[in-house]
Structure 1
Amino acid sequence: MTEDLTGPPWATDWTKSAAEYRDSLPTTVRDQIIDAVTELKCSRHPYRDDHLDTAKVNIEPVRSTQPRGAHLLYFDRGRGWLRYVFTPRVAEPQIVIETLFWQ
């Protein structure tokens, strides 16, 4: 089923707490987050790292036993990460960013 999806760019939404935390960070960090999420939105599949600029971002599943579950997207050389899930609906596939962290 996931091969029949509409394709990138994927719709993206943020949970309220992740969006509030993102908005509280310095501008340079927010710009890096925007770049990282743009890489993810434009990837062929949000759970695979092919066609991603791995110098900027990398992804991995939160639990190896759930490869289609939540994933982590690392950015800023691993100083920050965000946890997201991908909902592969046929009409409008969507990435939901649940948690954001930056140190």
Structure 2
Amino acid sequence: MTDDPPLPPWQMDWTAEARRVFDAMPADARRLVLAARAELVTAPDPYYRGIDTDASLPHWITVRPLASTNPGGPHIADLAGGRGWMIYTFIRRHAEPQITVTDAFWA
């Protein structure tokens, strides 16, 4: 066993309500959410902290803290210019870091 911190890909889990909303989305919306998921689980830091760190994201996704007063707390991934979003937290546990989606929406 090493003391090196874990690296991506991260695990991702959904609350029951967020998963229910995701499952009810139209197919094109689910594809965008799954593409955003792929970006999040492979990012070195799913919170994209710092200046221009999210510049590598596709143009249709932006990531920001849900509350500017809590930059280490829940984040929102806005999708398709605000048509939808995923709210998630990233828990950097030593053994098993995990992203948990707590809310999902598509208009």
Q: Tell whether the structures are fold-level matches, with TM greater than 0.5.
A: yes
Q: Deviation at 1:36?
A: 0.7
Q: TM-score, normalised by structure 1?
A: 0.89
Q: Deviation at 1:77?
A: 2.2
- Aligned pairs, how many? 100
Once the two structures are superposed, the pairs formed by residues 1-103 of structure 1 within 5 Å of their partners are 5-48=5-48, 50=53, 52-103=56-107
Tell me if structure 2 keeps the 8 A contact 1:60–1:73: yes
Q: TM-score, normalised by structure 2?
A: 0.86
Tell me if structure 2 keeps the 8 A contact 1:62–1:69: yes
Q: Deviation at 1:53?
A: 1.6
Q: Deviation at 1:76?
A: 1.7
Larger Rg: 2
Structure 1: stretches of 5+ with no match in the other structure: none
Q: Deviation at 1:69?
A: 0.3
**Superposed CA offset, 1:62-97 (max 9, x none):** 111111000000112221111100111010100000
Distance 1:21 1:43 in 2: 24
**Deviating 4+ runs (over 2 angstroms):** 49-52
Aligned amino acid, residue 38 of structure 1: A
